[in-house]
Amino acid sequence: MEIGKWRREYLQGGLQRSELADDPIGQFGAWLEEVVKAEISDPSAMCLSTADASGQPSQRIVLLKGFDARGFVFYTNLKSQKAWDITANPKVSLLFPWHFLERQVIVRGSVEQVSDAEADEYFSIRPRDSQIAAWASHQSDAIVSRKVLEDNFESFRAKFDGQDVPRPEFWGGYRVEPHAVEFWQGRASRLHDRFIYRALEGGEWQLERLSP
């Protein structure tokens, strides 16, 4: 395979400053609507990058579960590898790889845990089997076989039979408060359009065009 020769031109469109919203949350919402209209699977999928105390980075795909002026929210096991990384270093990055529209959104920011009330509200609307799975999996821990996981699942299914499944205390959410958000639109000849919003004091944003 001659991977070095694999390439294509990005010709779907461009991006001008005049087209952008005053703040990155509004712009993100507008682009997300276009992704949803395109009927692509997992429109809220994003790559979460963290780094542990030694500086070793890790990445994984998670699902965005909410966003507003405060930031971008996802949920996870609070004893997972990503959670340990966040405890050691709360600075993270998010990447939305919307290749089918020749777009990317990159979020850089700091993480804070969402309130118990927010976590409870979201957990209550998860499918029941997903709620049970949260109890059954000691996320990121080594296990000897899949059977261990399945047995744990069945055990908790029986335990909560006939009742609501409570949210485990070790399961919750994180909010990424952005300090920079970049919007990338592919263009021909690799002359891509890149704009970055940088947070200023008082809730204002500075918008700059970046060289590709």
Quote the CA–CA distance of 163 and 140 in Å, as a whole number.
28
190 is in an annotated binding site: yes
In 10 A of CB 143, how many CB atoms?
11
- Tell me: is residue 191 an annotated ligand-binding position: yes
CA–CA separation, 73 vs 44, rounded Å? 11
Q: Is 64 annotated as a binding residue?
A: yes
Q: State the catalytic residue, choosing from 17, 128, 190, 209.
A: 190
Using CA atoms, how far apart are residues 109 and 176, in angstroms rounded to an integer?
Answer: 6
Residue position matching structure tokens 């919750």: 172
Report whether 103 belongs to an annotated binding site.
Answer: no
* Residues in contact with 95: Cβ distance below 8 Å, sequence separation at least 6, in sequence order: 46, 47, 49, 104, 105, 106, 107
Residue 82 assigned to a binding site: yes
Any binding-site annotation on 62?
Answer: yes
Amino acid at 177: E
**175 - beta bridge partners?**
73, 112
Flag whether 192 is marked binding.
yes
20 is in an annotated binding site: no
DSSP 8-class letter at 166: P
Sequential DSSP letters for 92-149: EEEEEEEGGGTEEEEEEEEEEEPPHHHHHHHHHTS-HHHHHHHHH--TT---S-HHHH
Binding residue per annotation — 207? no
Asked about 157 being catalytic, the answer comes back as no
- Residue 91 counted as an annotated binding residue: no
Is residue 140 a known part of a binding site?
yes
**What amino acid positions are annotated as catalytic residues?**
190
Positions at the binding site for FMN = 60-65, 75-76, 82, 104, 139-140, 184, 194
Positions at the binding site for substrate = 65, 122, 126, 130, 190-192
Positions at the binding site = 60-65, 75-76, 82, 104, 122, 126, 130, 139-140, 184, 190-192, 194
